[in-house]
Chain A
Amino acid sequence: MTTGLSSPLAICLALLAAWGVVGLAGMLRPASLRFAGRTLFPLGALCGAALAVVAGLNIAAPPEQIVLLIGLPDLPLHMRLDALSSVFLVLLGATSTGISIFSAGYFRRGQGTLPGLLCLEYHLFLASMGFVLLADDAYGFMLAWETMALSSYFLVTTQHRIPEIRSAGFLYLLIAHVGAISILLAFGVLQGGTWHFTFDSMRTAEMKPAWATAAFLLALFGFGAKAGLVPLHVWLPEAHPAAPSPVSALMSGVMLKTAVYGMLRVTFDLIGTPAWWWGLILLMVGLLTALYGVVYAAAQTDMKRLLAYSSIENIGILFTGMGLAVVYFGVGMPVPGTVALVAVLYHALNHAFMKSLLFLGTGAVLHATGERNLGRLGGLIHRMPWTAWLTLVGALAIAGLPPLNGFVSEWLLLQSFLLAHEVPKPFVNMLLPLGAAVLVLAAALAGYVMVKFFGVIFLGQPREARLKDAHDAGRTERIGLIWLAAGCVLLGLLPTRVLPTLSLVPEQLGLSVGTMATSSWWRLVPLPDRGASYSPMIFLLAVAAVIAITVLAVHYFYHQRIRRSAPWDCGFVRLDARMQDTAEGFGQPIRHIFQPFFTLERELPTPFDAAPRYRVTIGDPLWRALYLPLGRVVQRGADSLAWLQQGRIASYLLYSFVTLLTLLALML
C-alpha cells in the first residue's frame, strides 16, 4: 500500500534524502570550513530535529509501507515505518541534532580529511542509519547497513595520516564485515525457502524451530559484532578514540543502537515467535558484556577508551533486558515482558543522549588541551565550567543516579527482573534473579567509573602546567551540549510521558495487549499489582526543597564568612599536583579485585635505577585467547593458498576459464 507524499514515511524519506543533499553540498566547496560549519551542519541539525518530531508523532500510527522504484531492476526497495522504526528514528534525529550543532563549531582545520568531504561522510552516515531503520527488505537493509559501515569507517580514519588510526579503522571494518556476512546469512535463513527477501514474506514464512534458532544465532553474531558484545567488542575501544569526538558520539550513541534495533527487529518481528530459551543466551551474553565492559572501563587511562568500554557495558544492559523480554514473552508473561522491552527501548534512548553528551564533553576537553590521557588532565572545572557542569549531568545520568534518566531505565529493568522467579520453568526461575545481582553490580561499578572519569578530568589540580590556558567550549558547541544534557534531564523527569508511547511497540508487534500502565502523569507504576512506584518530579521537588530549606536555614541562623587558605599539606610543605590520585591509581582497586579479568604487564624498576619508571599495561586476555590464534589460522590459510597468486595474467585467465567451465557444468 503506497501512500501519498504527505505521509510520515514519505516525509522521513525526504528528510533522509535532505541529509544526503546537505552532505553533497559540502563537496561544492570542499576546503571551506566556514561553509560546512556555518551552513551545512546547522542544516543537518534542523533535518535531525524535524525527523525526530515527525517520527515521534508517528509512533502511535499504524505501520505504513512504500515501494521505491529505485535500485536494481526487479528489486525495488521496500520501506516501512512502524512503531519500532519510529522510536529509533526519534533516537537518531534527536541525538544527531545535538551532535550536529556541536560539530558545527567543532571541526577545525588540519584534521586530515577536508571539511567538505567530512561533511559528506557525516551526513551520509546519518542518512544510512535512517535507511537501516526504514528498510523493509534484506537488500535495502544490507545496502544501508554497508553504507553505514563504510561511511563510519571513513569518519573513523579522518586523521588517516596516523598509522594507529588506520589500523583501528581496519579492525573496525573487518569486524563490521564479518558481522555483515552473518546478518546476510541470517536473512538467507529467514526467507524460509520462499526466496522472497522482503521482510513481509519473512514475517509470514513458516520455519522449523531449528532453522529459526539458526537465524537467531546468526543475527545475534552479526548484530553483536556491530553492537560490541563480548567477545566481538575489541573494535570499540580502538575505533572510538581514533574517531573525532562527534563521530565517536554518533557511533556510540546512535550506531550501536541500530544493532539493537536489528536484533529487536529480527527476534520479535521477523521470526515473530522467539523461543523462550533464546532469552537465556541473550541474558548470559548481555550480563557478561555488561560486567566485562564496566570492569575494563574502570581500568582505562584514556578518556575515550573509558567511554568506549562504558558503551560496551550499556550494550550489555540492553541485551540483558532483551533477553529478559524474550524469556517473559516466550513463557507467556506479557506484562513483565512489556516492562522489560520498554526498559530496553528507554535505555537505548537514554544511553544515546548521555553517551553522546559525554563523548562531546571529551571532544571539548580534547580541543582545549590536546590531551586524551587522563594522567595529564585535571582541574578543568575552573577553566571550562560549561563543559564541566554539562558533562557532570551526563556522568551522573550514566551512573544511574536519580532523578536523571539512566536511573529510570535501570529501575524499570530491575522491576521486571523481580518477577523472574515466577517464570514457570524449573531451575531457570531460580537462576534468573541472580542475573539481577550481576546487573546491579555492573550499575554500581558504573558509578565508580564515572567518579573516576569526571573527577580525574575536571576536579583536583591541573596535572600539567599548560592546562591553565585551556579554553571552554565555543558557543555552538555549548548549545549542542545543552541540548543533550536537557534531553538527559527531561527523559529523567518525564518518563510517564514517554513510556506509554514506547509500550506501543510491543503492542504493535503483537506481543502484548494494551499500553503499559503508568497510573498518572506524575507517577510511574509499571506493574500496578505490585505497588511499586517512582515519581521523579516529586522526588526532585522533595530533594530540592530539603536542600533549599537547609541553605536558607544555614544562611539565616549563621554567618556566611568564608576564608580561603592553602589546602592542608599534612606538614609536608611542597604539596603538588602529582600527589593526587592518577587514573591508574583510581583504577587500582578494580585491577586488584578483578584480577582474573585482566592480563597485566608490569615493568618495575630495580633498586639501582637512576631514573626509575613504573609501567602497567592492561591487556585484554581475549586477544591472546581468541583473536591472535584466529589471526594465525587465517594467515596460515592464506599462505597455503598463496601459490595461486603467481602474478602472471595468463594463469589468472586460466582461473577464470576453469571457473566458468565449472559453473557451466553445474548449471547443466
Chain B
Amino acid sequence: MNALDWVTQLMEVVAALAAAPLLVGWVNCCRAWLQNRTAPSVLLPYRGIRKLFHKDAVIAEGASPLFRIAPYIVFGAMVTAAMVIPSMGTRLPFTTAADAIALVGLFATARVFLSLAAMDVGTAFGSLGARREMMVGFLAEPALLIVIFVASLISSTTSLPAIAEALATRTLGVYPSLAFTAVAFMMVLLAENARIPVDNPATHLELTMIHEAMLLEYSARHLALMEWAAALKLFNYTCIGFALFIPWGTSTGDAPLALVAAIPVLGLKLLVAGAVLAVVETVSAKLRVFRAPEFLATAFMLAMLGLLVHVLLGA
C-alpha cells in the first residue's frame, strides 16, 4: 500500500463525481442524434444540478426526518461504491474493506432508503414508485450477484479489483460463461438505472415511471443529490461492466504512467458505452410494468446459465 494507491483511490472518486453527470449528458446527446433531434449540451446535467442547488427546498408537510436524510445516504452510498470499483487502477486500498458482495449491499442500501423516502410523504405516486423499484430491485440484485459470482469463480476471489486484474491478465480466449453473463449484466444495468425498456428517464407518465415517481416530492438540493446519485449509479454500473467484461487498459501495477494512460482509456470506454446505451434505448420499446419481471427473470436465468456453463465447462 503506497502513495500511488491512494492517489488512484482519490482519482477514481473524483473521476466518478465529475464524469457521472457528463456520462448522462453524453447518453442524452447520442439519443437525440439517433432520434434526429437537436442535441442538448453535454453539460446540461451539470447546469441542472447547479440550478437545483441554488433553489429553496420545498418539503411536503408530513415528511419525516427520514425524507431529508435519505438523499445524503443515497449519495454517500453511491460515492462509496465508486471507491470499490476499479475504473482506472486496480490497486485500491479501500477494497480491503468492501468486496463485490458488499458493493451489491451498498446498492441495496441506497435502493431501500430511496424507496423508504418515497413512501414517507404518503402520496399515491411515491408508494407506487417504491413498490415498483423494490420489484425491479429484488430481481435485478440476485442477477447482478450471480454475474459477479461467475467472474469471481473464474478468478477465485470476490474482491472486485482482483477480479478485474485476473480477467485482464488472462490468456485471451472466449469465456462462454462471460458471454451469457454479459448479456445478463446489460439487462440488469438497463433495469437498475431506470432506462428503456424497464423505465423511461424522460417521461413523467404515471403508468410507466418508476424512478421519477419516487423523486416527485424532492426539490432543490435534495433533488440535486438524488439526480447526482442516479448519474453516479449509471457511472458505477458502467464501470462494473468494464471491470468484468473489458478490463483491459486499467493500471494493474505500480507504474504511474499506466495510471495516466488509464484516464483516456476510461474516457474512450465511456464514450463507446454511452453510445451503445443510447442505441439500445433507441431501438427498444418501453415494456409494460408487468413485463419488467419477465425481462429481469430472463436476466436472472441468463446469469444462472452463465454460472452453469462455467461449472460445466470450467470456462
Binding site for B on A (CB under 8 A): 378-379, 381-382, 396, 399-402, 407, 411, 414-415, 418, 421, 429-430, 433-434, 436-437, 440-441, 443-445, 447-448, 450-452, 454-456, 459-461, 523, 530-535, 538-539, 542-544, 546-547, 550-551, 554, 557-559, 561-570, 575, 577, 579-581, 585-586, 588-590, 592-593
Contacts and interface: CB of A to CB of B under 8 A. Distances in A.
Contact of B94 (A454, A542, A577): A542
Nearest to A446: B138
Contacts of A433: 149, 153, 307, 311
A447 B125 CA distance: 20
Nearest to A417: B149
Interface stretch (B21-29, B61-69, B256-264): B61-69
Interface in B289-315: 290, 293, 297, 300, 303-304, 307-308, 311-312
Interface stretch (B52-60, B193-201, B271-279): B52-60
A414 B141 CA distance: 14
B142 A444 contact: yes
Contacts of A539: 80, 97-98, 102
B121 A567 contact: yes
B106 A589 contact: no
B34 interface: no
A291 to B, nearest CB: 11
11 contacts: A418-B149, A430-B312, A433-B311, A434-B308, A530-B156, A538-B97, A543-B76, A567-B61, A568-B60, A592-B290, A593-B293
A402 B60 contact: no
B56 A561 contact: yes
B12 interface: no
The 10 closest A-B pairs by CB, nearest first: A460-B122, A581-B127, A461-B122, A538-B97, A547-B76, A567-B60, A535-B97, A455-B119, A532-B158, A589-B135
Interface in B63-120: 64, 66, 72-73, 75-77, 79-80, 83, 94, 96-99, 101-102, 105-106, 108-109, 111-112, 115-116, 119-120
Interface residues of B, number: 79
Contacts of A399: 108, 112
A544 B304 CA distance: 35
A551 B72 contact: yes
A528 to B, nearest CB: 11
Nearest to A582: B127
A565 B58 contact: yes
Contacts of B58: 562-565
B137 interface: yes
B123 A402 contact: no
B152 interface: yes
B146 A402 contact: no
A428 to B, nearest CB: 10
A464 B115 CA distance: 23
Given A550-B79, A562-B56, A563-B59, 10 more contacts: A415-B158, A441-B300, A444-B138, A530-B157, A543-B77, A546-B75, A547-B72, A554-B53, A563-B56, A581-B130
B280 interface: no
Contact of A411 (B57, B102, B112, B137): B102
Contacts of A450: 112
The DSSP consensus for interface residues of chain A is: helix
A575 B99 CA distance: 45
Given A532-B159, A546-B79, A550-B75, A421 B53 contact: no
A567 B137 contact: no
B137 A448 contact: yes
Given A437-B142, A585-B131, A400 B105 contact: yes
Contacts of B72: 547, 550-551
A531 B125 CA distance: 44
A399 B104 CA distance: 13
Contacts of A569: 123
Nearest to A530: B157
Contacts of A437: 142, 146, 300, 303-304, 307
A585 B131 CA distance: 8
A580 B122 contact: yes
A500 to B, nearest CB: 18
The DSSP consensus for interface residues of chain B is: helix
Given A396-B112, A523-B97, A532-B158, A451 B57 contact: no
Contacts of B123: 567-569, 575, 579-580
Contacts of A523: 96-97
Given A430-B312, A567-B123, A579-B124, A447 B134 contact: yes
Contacts of A456: 119
A403 B112 CA distance: 14
A538 B94 contact: yes
Contacts of A418: 149, 152-153, 158
B158 A444 contact: no
A467 to B, nearest CB: 12
A486 to B, nearest CB: 20
A414 B76 CA distance: 25
B233 interface: no
Contacts of B77: 543
B221 interface: yes
B64 A581 contact: no
B131 A581 contact: yes
Contact of B57 (A396, A546, A562, A588): A562
B145 to A, nearest CB: 5
B216 interface: yes
A445 B221 CA distance: 31
Contacts of B115: 451, 455
Contacts of A436: 146, 149
Given A402-B106, A542-B83, A589-B135, A444 B141 contact: yes
A429 B123 CA distance: 49
Contacts of A407: 102, 105
A572 B53 CA distance: 29
Most buried by B among A399, A430, A543, A566: A543
Contacts of B83: 542
Nearest to A438: B142
A547 B73 contact: yes
Nearest to B111: A447
B239 interface: no
Contacts of B39: none
Nearest to A540: B97
B80 A543 contact: yes
A401 B57 contact: no
B217 interface: yes
A457 to B, nearest CB: 10
Contacts of A567: 60-62, 121-123, 217
Contact of A451 (B61, B96, B112): B112
B15 interface: no
Nearest to B106: A402
A154 B125 CA distance: 45
Given A448-B137, A550-B72, A534 B59 contact: no
